[in-house]
A and B are shown apart, each in its own frame.
Chain A
Amino acid sequence: MTRQPISVALVEDDPAVRQRFKASIEKQPQLTWIGEAASVRDGKALLGDNCPRVLLVDLGLPDGSGLEVITEAARHCPATEVMVVSMFGDEGHVIQAIEAGASGYLLKDMDDASLAEHIIQLVDGGSPMSPMIARHLLKKMQQPEEPEKAQASDVSLTKRELQLLKLLARGYTYREVADELSVSSHTVNSHIKNLYRKLSVKTKNEAVFAATREGLLDMRNLD
C-alpha cells in the first residue's frame, strides 16, 4: 500500500531536540519534514505558509505558550493533527493542550523508531490515551449539561465510550479493551480519536457558553 508521505512540522525552542526530531523523521520514508519554528510567532507564520498533516508543538516557548500555536492551528488548519511534545507527559499540560485542540502527545526522550511510529499511529487512529487522561475525560464529560447547552448533545458520551474510558482509566491496554468490548482494536482507535475531539469541543462549548453568560458574546450576532 503506497500513500502520500505524512508532512510533519515542529515548533520547539531547543535546537538539539529539533535536530534529533528532524533527523529521525527524515529517516522515515512515510514521513516528510516540511518546516520548523522556535517561537510562537514563527510557529504561527509556519502555519500561515502551509498546513502540515502533523504539527508537533512544545508548550514552553520563549515568547509565549505553545497553546497559542495549537489554537491557531485548530482555527486555520482543521485537518492538521497536533501533538504536544512534552518532557514528562505530565497530564496537566497534556490535558490543557488536548482541550486547546491537540490530539495527542509525544515524549521528548522517545527513540527514533517509536517517534515515527507514534506519529503514524496518530494519523491512523489517534494518540494513546493514558489512564489519567481517560479519567479526566470521564470527569469532564459526566458533568451535568446545562439546559441552555442542549444543542451540545453531540459532545456527551455514548454508553460504549463510557465503558471504554472506564476500562482505560483502570489501566487496561487497547488490546484488552477491544477483547473486553468484543470489538476490533481499529474500532477502539477510532473511538479514542473521537473522544479527543469531544474533549476539545466540549471545552470550546463551555468557553462560548461562559462568554455568552458574561455578555462577552452576543449569540444573535453570531452568523
Chain B
Amino acid sequence: MSRLFGLLLLLLPFFAQAQPQIQVEEGRYFGQAINQPLDYYRDPEGRLDFQAVRNLPAESWQSQSPGSLGFDSAAHWYRLQITGQAVEEADWLLVAPFTLLDYVSVYWWQKDKGWVSQHSGDHQPLESRPSWHQRFAFPFELQPEESRTAYIRFQTQGLANNQLLLWEADSFQRFNHQEARWLSWHYGVLGGLGFFFLFIFLALRDRLFLYFGGMALSILVMAMTIAGEFSVNPLFSHWPGFNDGMIVFWPLVTTLTSLLFVRAFFHLKQTSPHLLKAFYTLLGIMTLAALQIFHDYALAYQLTLLLVLVVTPLTLFIIYASWRKGLRPPSLLLIGLLCSLLGASIDISRAFMDNLEPLLMGEYGFFARFVGRHGTLMGMTAEIAFFALAVAQKIFRERQDREKVLEQLVVAKEKNRQLLIHNQQQRDQLIREMHDGLGSQLTTALYAARRQEVDKTQLTSQLQGILDDLRLMMDSIQPEGVDLVSLLGQLRYRLQERMQAAGLQLQWQVDDLPMEWELSPQEALNLQRLVQEALTNIIKHAGVNQAGLSARIDAEDNLVIAICDQGHGLPEELQTSGKGIVNMHQRAKELGGQLQITRASGGQGCCVTFRMPAGITRHASSAI
C-alpha cells in the first residue's frame, strides 16, 4: 500500500514541476530506502561549490534515483524535499549507508538560519562529522507538516555507491547497537582464532599455526576495513588515504597469508610445485595491479577485486589436486571455502536481499538484514572456523600417527631390552664355559708343558681335547641356530675320533625326530656338555669298550636320551656327590628336564637317562 502511495508521489513532481518530495514513514525499523527518482546533477570535475550548484538552471537537473553508479570519481548532486506530514516531532537521520565513501555532504535549508551544511565521509576527520557512526548519517529535525529541502553531494575515488536512507534516530541507534554486537561476535571469532593460533605457534613453532593465525587476523582486518571500523577510528580518520589504501593493498596480505597457509597445509612444495607457482604468479600480478593506485585508483581497486576472485577457485583446485594425489580429503577445508563462497554470493546479491526487505518488515527481520549486509564477513568467519577445525583435525591425525610410532618404539625398546638381557645371560653362560672348561684345561696343559719331563703324547692329547671343546662351543653358537637332532649328530661327529682313540665303540640310535626343535646357544651348550660328561664318565670309570646312545620320544611325549654301558658303572660316591654329576643334574634342570642315573641290579651296566617334555616338538611338527 505504501509502495503504491510512493509511486503516486513519484508522478507528483512531473505535474508540480517542484522538487521531488519524500515523505518520511514511521515504523521503518531498518531505515526507509529512497528509491524514487530525485533531482540529479553530475559535476564531472567536482569543482562546483554549493552556491554554484544551487544557481544551476532547472534544465541542468536530471531525474535519477540514488544508488550505485559504479566507479565514477565525479561529484554527484541530489536534491530532494523531505516532508513529514504524519510524523510526530522526532529526530531523523539522512543516511548514506555505504561505508567507503570519501566525501558526503548535506546542505539543509533552515527557516531561521538559512543554508546549513554538514560534512562527512571517510576523508573527513571524525570530530568534524555530524555523527560518529561507520555509516555516514546526517541528523535533522522535522516538525509535523514541515517540509525540508536538502542538497546531497557524493564524491569518491572508488565505488560511487550513492544509496540514501531515511531513518528514525531511535531505530537507527537500535539497529546499530545490534549490528555492532553481531559484528563483534564475528570479530571475536576471527581475532580469537587468529591470536590463539599465533600463541600456539609461539609454543610449538609449527609454521602452519603461524600462517593460519596470520590468515585469520588478515581476514579480520579486511572485514573491519569494509565495515568502516577504521573510518570511525579517531586516529585513522585523520589520515584520509588510509581506507583507500587498505582496500587496494590489504587483499594482497590476505592472499599471501592464505597462500602460505594452503602451502603449509598441503605441503604444496613437495606435492604440487606447479600450483604453487601459479599462486606466486597471481600474487605478483596482484602486486602490479595494486601499484596502479599511484596513477589510477579506480583501476587498481577494480583489478584487485577481480584478482581476489581467482583465489578461491585456485584454492579449490589445490584441494582437488591433493585429493587426486591420495591425500586425505580435507572436507573441512572444502566446507569452509563453500561457506565463504556462499557469503560472497549473498553479498553480491544484496540488491536481491534489499528487494526482499518489504517481506522482512518488523524488528525480527534483523537477521536477514544482517546477512544481506555482511554476507561476506559471515562467510569468511565460517570459513576460518572450519579451517581451524581442519587444522585441528590435521594435528590430531599427526599426533595419532606419532603416538602409534611411539608405541611401536616402546614395544621395540622392550623387545630390545629383553634381547639384551637374553644376550647377557648367554654371554654369562659362555664366559662360564670358557672359564671353567677351556680355562682350567688350558691351565692344566700349561703346567704340564712347564714340567721338566714333558709327556709329549699327553700334552698333545690335552691340547687336542681343548681344541675339540672349542669346536663344540662353536657348534652351539651357530649364527643360523641349531636344532636338537643335528646337535646330537654333530656331537657324535666331533667326538668320534676321540672315542675311537679311547677305545670306545658307540652304538648310535637316534630316531627320526622332528628337525624343527631349535635350541638356544645356552640350551645347546648344556645338552652338549651333558652328553659329553656322560660319555667321559663311561670312558673313565666303566671299563668297557662298548656303549650306546639312544634318542627317542616315549609314550608320554617325553624326549628321552639314554646313554648306557654294560660296565662297572660309576663309583658309589661319585653318583651322589661328584662334581661332574652335580653339573649334569644342573644342566638337565636348566634344559627343563631331569636326569636319572640307574644301575643294573647285577652291578653290570649303568644308564644316564635325560628326560624332558617334548610338547614343543609335537607342536612344531604339527605346524609343518
Contacts and interface: CB of A to CB of B under 8 A. Distances in A.
Interface of A: 88-92, 109, 130-132, 134-136, 138, 166, 168-173, 176
B489 A168 contact: yes
Contact of B489 (A89, A90, A92, A170): A170
Contacts of A91: 475, 478
Given A173-B496, A176-B508, A88 B489 contact: no
30 contacts: A88-B471, A88-B474, A89-B471, A90-B478, A92-B478, A92-B479, A109-B464, A132-B475, A132-B478, A132-B486, A134-B489, A135-B483, A135-B485, A135-B489, A135-B515, A136-B480, A138-B515, A166-B515, A169-B485, A169-B515, A170-B486, A170-B489, A170-B510, A170-B512, A171-B488, A171-B489, A172-B489, A172-B510, A173-B508, A176-B508
B493 interface: yes
B510 A171 contact: yes
B470 A135 contact: no
Interface string B468-503: 001100110011101101101111110010000000
Interface of B: 464, 467, 470-471, 474-475, 478-480, 482-483, 485-486, 488-493, 496, 508, 510, 512-513, 515
Contact of A132 (B482, B496, B512, B513): B482
Instruction: Name the 4 nearest CB pairs between A and B, nearest first.
Output: A171-B489, A131-B489, A171-B492, A135-B486
Contacts of B480: 92, 136
A131 B508 CA distance: 14
A117 to B, nearest CB: 12
B430 to A, nearest CB: 15
B486 A134 contact: yes
Given A91-B475, A166-B512, A172-B508, 8 more contacts: A88-B470, A130-B490, A135-B485, A136-B480, A169-B486, A170-B513, A171-B488, A171-B489
Contacts of A173: 496, 508
Contacts of A92: 478-480
Contacts of B471: 88-89
Contacts of A168: 489
A189 B486 CA distance: 20
A90 B515 CA distance: 20
A136 B489 CA distance: 13
A45 B566 CA distance: 59
Contact of B493 (A109, A138, A171): A171
Among B486, B488, B490, B491: residue with most chain A CB under 10 A: B486
A79 B467 CA distance: 34
A109 B508 CA distance: 27
Contact of A109 (B467, B482, B485, B492): B467
B221 to A, nearest CB: 58
Nearest to B467: A109
A172 B490 CA distance: 10
Contacts of B470: 88
Nearest to B478: A91
A185 B480 CA distance: 30
A87 to B, nearest CB: 9
A160 to B, nearest CB: 16
A169 B515 CA distance: 9
A21 B584 CA distance: 40
B488 A170 contact: yes
A138 B489 CA distance: 14
B493 A130 contact: yes
Contacts of A176: 508
A168 B510 CA distance: 11
Contacts of A109: 464, 467
Nearest to B485: A170
A92 B479 CA distance: 7
Among B467, B480, B483, B489: residue with most chain A CB under 10 A: B489
A169 B511 CA distance: 11
Contacts of B512: 166, 170
Given A134-B486, A135-B483, A176-B508, A171 B491 contact: yes
A173 B510 CA distance: 12
B563 to A, nearest CB: 13
Given A89-B471, A170-B510, A171-B508, A131 B486 contact: yes
Contact of A131 (B464, B467, B479, B493): B493
Contacts of B479: 92
A200 B218 CA distance: 73
B606 to A, nearest CB: 22
B218 to A, nearest CB: 53
A150 to B, nearest CB: 24
A11 to B, nearest CB: 23
Contacts of B508: 171-173, 176
A139 to B, nearest CB: 8
A21 B467 CA distance: 19
Contacts of A131: 486, 489-490, 492-493
A132 B490 contact: yes
A136 B490 CA distance: 12
Among B491, B492, B493: residue with most chain A CB under 10 A: B493
Among A88, A91, A170: residue with most chain B CB under 10 A: A170
A170 B550 CA distance: 11
B476 to A, nearest CB: 11
A133 to B, nearest CB: 9
B136 to A, nearest CB: 77
A172 to B, nearest CB: 6
A161 to B, nearest CB: 16
A138 B512 CA distance: 14
Contacts of A130: 490, 493
A14 B493 CA distance: 27
Among A92, A131, A134: residue with most chain B CB under 10 A: A131
A134 B480 CA distance: 14
A134 B475 CA distance: 14
A134 B510 CA distance: 15
Contacts of A90: 474, 478
Contacts of B467: 109
A89 B492 CA distance: 15
A100 to B, nearest CB: 17
B489 to A, nearest CB: 3
B511 to A, nearest CB: 8
Contacts of A170: 485-486, 488-489, 510, 512-513
A144 to B, nearest CB: 13
Contacts of B490: 130-132, 171
